[in-house]
Structure 1
Amino acid sequence: MRFQHSEDIWRDHPELVPGVIFVRGITGDVAVDDRLATFSELAAKRLATASEGEMPEIQAWRRAFSKMGLKPTQYRCASESLLRRFRKEGALPRLHPLIDLCNAVSIAYAIPVAVFDVSKIAEYVEVRYATGEETYLTFAGETEHPPAGEVIFADAEGKAHARRWTNRQSGHSAVRDATTDVLIVAEALHGTAREDVESLVATLTDELTALWQATPRSGILSPSAPEFTT
């Protein structure tokens, strides 16, 4: 399986820095509470001095959403939504150890982190503009068709595994109790995106290795090296 962004995405968002991790052997019985507390504390410290909307990482995504014709405060990138909820409630909902860990890392870095069950993906994932013919499965089990021009995560069968780029993932490839092999994607657009995504990927790789005794593979993509292959 491979992951990549289309040439059109690189053309329209040359500041993009994606980080990708592939890992096997994930289970749902790992205790992550201590790690969640550490990353949540980092997020809380940042929020003590600035709201999520003032963070450069979030402002960059708001500009990208505006460029795509979306209202930034109506459709928020995943990290902004998580930070907003964390600021209001002081915690995030617990779903699965891996998702909980990735969400905690996401708010610590203010960078969207997506996690996909590889067994539910056909051949590849490409972040590209929709044609209008793709299908998207909501968590409620409803089927949607992203309009042409919307940025989606698409596979070889025309399934959209995320809508509005980093706004909303699909229920089809969401991590479940039976999930074992996953693809993790972090994307940033702000001024220090390269160093921050490299740090985030290294941090998550260390956590996956320690918590699941796994051997993750990772990469940082660019226009000259746009493809990650598992």
Structure 2
Amino acid sequence: MRFQHSAPVRAAFPDLVAGVVVATGISPDVSVGARIDEFTGRARARLAGGTEAGLPETQAWRRAFAALGLKPTQYRCASEALLRRLRIDGDLPRLHPLVDLCNAISVAYAVPVAVLDTDRISGDLTVRHAHGDEEYVTFGGGVERPEPGEVIFADADGRAHARRWTNRQSGWSAVHAETSRVLIVAEGLHDTAAADVAGLLDTLRAEVAAHWSAPVAHALLTGAAPAFDVPSRV
């Protein structure tokens, strides 16, 4: 499998930086509560100075969503949505230890993080503009068609694994109790994204290895190095 951003997406958003982690041996019988508390504590400290809307990371994504024709306050990037929930509800939802940990890291860095079950992805996975004939499966099992031009995570079978640039992740490849192999993607568009995503990538690698003792492969993707070949065994 190759993970990449399409040339048109890269051309439209030349400052995009992505971090990718591949891990195996994932299981749900891990306790990550203390680490979640630490990362959400970092996020709360940042939110003490204002709302998530004022963070440079969020503002960069709002500009990107606006450029794609999306209303930034109607469709929020994944990290903004989580930060908003943390600020309003005081906590984040609990779904699966790995997902919960990645959500906490996401709010700590204010950078969107997507976690996908690689066994549910067919062939290459490309972040690209939708044609409009792709299939997206909701968490409820319903089927949707992304709007033409919408940025999606699309595999070789034309299945969309995320809509509106991870604003909505598909239930098809979401991590569940039986998931053992994952692809984790973090993306930043703000001025210091290169350094921040690199730091987030290091954090992800350390946390996954510490809790699951999982072999990990990783890459930092930029315009100069836009693709990552996911090893069949890691």
- Tell me if both proteins adopt one fold, taking TM over 0.5 as the criterion: yes
Kindly state the Cα deviation for residue 143 of structure 1 after the two structures are TM-superposed. Answer: 0.3
TM value normalised by structure 2: 0.97
Output the TM-score relative to the length of structure 1.
Answer: 0.99
* Residue matched to 2:188: 188
Distance 1:148 1:73 in 2: 21
CA contact (8 A) 2:152 2:161 kept: yes
- Distance in 1 (alpha carbons) for counterparts of 2:165 and 2:82: 16
The correspondence of residues 43-192 of structure 1 with structure 2, limited to 5 A, is: 43-192=43-192
Counterpart-to-counterpart distance in 2, 1:46 and 1:196: 15
Write the distance in 2 (CA, Å) between the matches of 1:50 and 1:196: 20
CA deviation after TM superposition for structure 1 residue 176, in Å: 0.3
CA distance in 1, matches of 2:49, 2:66: 25
Do the aligned partners of 2:16 and 2:223 also contact (CA within 8 Å) in 1?
no
SS in 2 for 1:126: strand
- 1:4-59 deviations in Å (ceiling 9; x for gaps): 00000000000100110000110000000110010011001000012100000000
Q: Aligned pair count?
A: 230
Aligned AA (2:47): L
- Supply the distance in 2 between the matched residues of 1:223 and 1:209 (Cα, whole angstroms): 28
Where do 1:218-229 residues align within 5 Å? 218-229=218-229
AA of the residue aligned to 1:80: E
Question: What is the percent sequence identity of the aligned residues?
Answer: 57
**RMSD between superposed Cα atoms in Å:** 0.6
CA positional deviation for 1:144: 0.3
Structure 1 runs of 4+ with >6 Å offset = none
2:132 corresponds to which letter in structure 1?
G
Distance 2:223 2:110 in 1: 23
DSSP-derived class of the 1:161 partner: strand
Question: How far apart are the structure 2 equivalents of 1:166 and 1:182?
Answer: 16
Instruction: Please name the residue that 1:7 is paired with.
Output: 7
The residue type paired with residue 192 of structure 1 is T
Cα distance between partner residues in 2 of 1:172 and 1:29:
22
Other structure's SS at 1:182 match: strand
Q: Which amino acid is the alignment partner of residue 227 of structure 1? A: A
Aligned to 1:207: 207
Shift of 1:89: 1.0
Alignment gaps of 5+ in structure 2 = none
- Report the AA paired with residue 43 of structure 2: A
Q: Is 1:41 aligned with 2:41?
A: yes
For 1:92 and 1:65, locate their aligned partners in 2 and report how far apart those are by CA, in whole Å: 24
Aligned-partner SS, 1:203: helix
Shift of 1:166: 2.4
**Residue aligned with 1:116, SS:** strand
For residue 97 of structure 1, what is the amino acid of its counterpart? P
What residue in structure 2 maps to residue 198 of structure 1? 198
Distance across 1 between alignment mates of 2:224 and 2:80: 29
